[in-house]
């Protein structure tokens, strides 16, 4: 028996409607109707391309909740990472994150090309395109040891804007 993948994550948020709107409007999640009857402090969301029952649970703490100290003053989760299928998808999300004021970085990790964003509560997440195994070469593999700036135009020229990447096709 072994773990095969992450099924879902749960985040505590200050303002549930604001967080649902962000994950829906910026990242394309859809709300699924599975909140227990009489409980209005939670929402469950599914990523557009997911086969999971839900990918994200949001639980409201209220406006007085303090910011997460994880990584600054307490231990805790640094970020969640979601995959996209193509570099075009990554580019589209970069524009949406930028428009929402939520894009905080973009990195080339050699075998993965990543965006970093923050949700309305300042919780960080990553969105990554993973080079398919058939296209991995010595340069990409060596790049895992050196994080560089992401040049999406150069990556689209190198790998193709609509080349499908991801764990399902990247096994090396």
Q: In whole numbers, what is the pLDDT of the chain averaged over residues? A: 92
Q: Is the pLDDT of residue 156 over 80?
A: yes
For 117-149, the pLDDT digits (tens) are 999 999 999 999 999 999 999 999 998 998 999
Q: In whole angstroms, what is the distance from residue 3 CA to residue 119 CA?
A: 28
Q: Is the pLDDT of residue 170 over 60?
A: no
User: Within 10 Å of residue 56's Cβ, how many Cβ atoms?
Assistant: 25
Average pLDDT over residues 87-103: 98
């Amino acid at each position: 028996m072994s773990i095969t993948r992450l099924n879902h994550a749960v985040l505590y948020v200050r303002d549930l409607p604001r967080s649902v709107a962000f994950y829906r409007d910026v990242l394309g999640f859809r709300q699924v109707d599975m909140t227990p009857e009489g409980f209005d402090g939670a929402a469950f969301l599914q990523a557009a391309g997911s086969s999971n029952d839900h990918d994200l649970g949001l639980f409201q703490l209220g406006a007085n909740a303090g910011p997460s100290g994880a990584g600054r003053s307490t231990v805790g989760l640094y970020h969640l990472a979601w995959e996209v299928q193509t570099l075009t998808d990554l580019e589209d999300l970069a524009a949406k994150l930028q428009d929402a004021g939520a894009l905080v970085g973009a990195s080339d990790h050699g075998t993965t090309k990543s965006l970093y964003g923050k949700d309305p509560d300042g919780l960080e997440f990553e969105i990554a395109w993973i080079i398919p195994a058939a296209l991995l070469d010595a340069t990409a593999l060596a790049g895992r040891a050196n994080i560089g700036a992401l040049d999406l135009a150069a990556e689209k020229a190198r790998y193709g804007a609509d080349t499908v990447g991801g764990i399902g096709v990247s096994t090396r």
